Structure 1
Amino acid sequence: MAADQPTIVATSGGFRAGRRTHLEFHRLVHHAVDLSGAHGRKPRLCYVGTASGDQRWWHADVDEAGRLAGWEVSQLNLFTMPPTDDLAGWVGEHDVVWVGGGSVANLLAVWEVHDLGGALRAAWRDGVVLGGVSAGSICWFVGGATDSFGPELRVVTNGLAFLPYGNGVHYDSEALRRPTIHAAVASGVLPETHCTDDGAGLVYLGTELAEAVSERASGGAYVVVRDESSGTPQEEPLDIRRL
């Protein structure tokens, strides 16, 4: 089975502390698996930890979370080398690709070296659900605000651009996120930008925003556009469904 059409789940969430384990997959990742159409067998999830440097200790926690969920979890490590010469074929064997957080600037640079973007685009078109948190959300868009370069946020614009929008993550938990996004949209550095509070996610079918969802009881999602007559940013909240 595969998703009915190209699907992306871009989030500021997806993990939670476990009861007996360090980590569990939260509702946003479960939702991505549901959207993949993987039923009647163990879903196959590919975890990509490039943004945090492919840390093996974290991957052990992700593997444990996968066993707890009843899924098969594979790790796409690019340090020190990819697992295969055929990245497109390897990625395409999975139901979901979930990209972790960290440095989106470093992630994009390493992915470009290995042409992982091309492999991910092929998988997306073939029905593999793409998703992720923070850096793993921004990467699918034109760009967004990041602390990849230091504590002062900067805007990157060299995202994969599968989705023709900007992306704002951790919108309610980091004070500089909102004003940085607003300034980037007002100046035209970012196009229309879609933002998530912690715990929220955005589901895209093709390149169209289909739904905003959240694994928490609070927090929302927003669209920021530039008012062409005044040159000012305009923010509108989205209706959001609690998972």
Structure 2
Amino acid sequence: MHVAIMGATKGMGRALARLMAARGDQLALLGRDPEALDGSARDLEVRGGGKHQVHTLACDLGDPASFGPALAAAEQALGKLDCVVVTAGMFATQEALEADPEQALKLVTLDFANTVGFCEHARARLLAGGGGKLCVFSSVAGDRGRKPVVIYGAAKAGLSAYLEGLDHKYRAQGLETICVKPGFVKTGMTANLKPPPFAGEPEGVARRVLAAIDRGKPVVYAPWIWRYIMLVIRWLPRFVMRRIGF
């Protein structure tokens, strides 16, 4: 595939890009840190056996004006776009967000409004090319309103609903939308949090996500156990949710 990835320099995005490079996919990396992008590109070229150049393009999730030009440049560099992957985003604890309204607004803007804006550019470009795959990382935090992730969860709930709507509206036209819902994964984003017994590793999540992309599966939980954890959580009565800390 010819793939543009927003957020391939860290964590799950980096692990997914490495799997794609190793199997021969042609990649364009989008991000705001030129040094990190260049380092990731060289790593991916080695993992791909030197068969393809990995392109790097400036794109900042905080700057919507960069979205269209970056995707246009990615398509030009790759020759075509088969898939766009979005793993970039922001995380902060509920306590930190409650203590800093500006940070809370920034998180909601980046994780929902600007991510949707980026996806709209990607949607239009993929459909103009006859279709393709749009894989976006949301979160299990969006499946149910919960005490520890009130604000982050609200942003991800909106993103998940948007991606579901895209899938309903455009799959018949050739756009396969894949909504990734990671649970707790051991990345830099969660480094200061105590991992639960069922925490995942980026590499395991990436393998599961890549399989979902290949199949065009509309929703994928990773690690897999989170599908069943959240199934239980969604069915708990509201008075129970008020009492528990999950």
TM-score, normalised by the number of residues in structure 1 = 0.47
TM-score, normalised by the number of residues in structure 2 = 0.46
Structure number with greater CO (CA < 8 Å, separation at least 6) is: 1
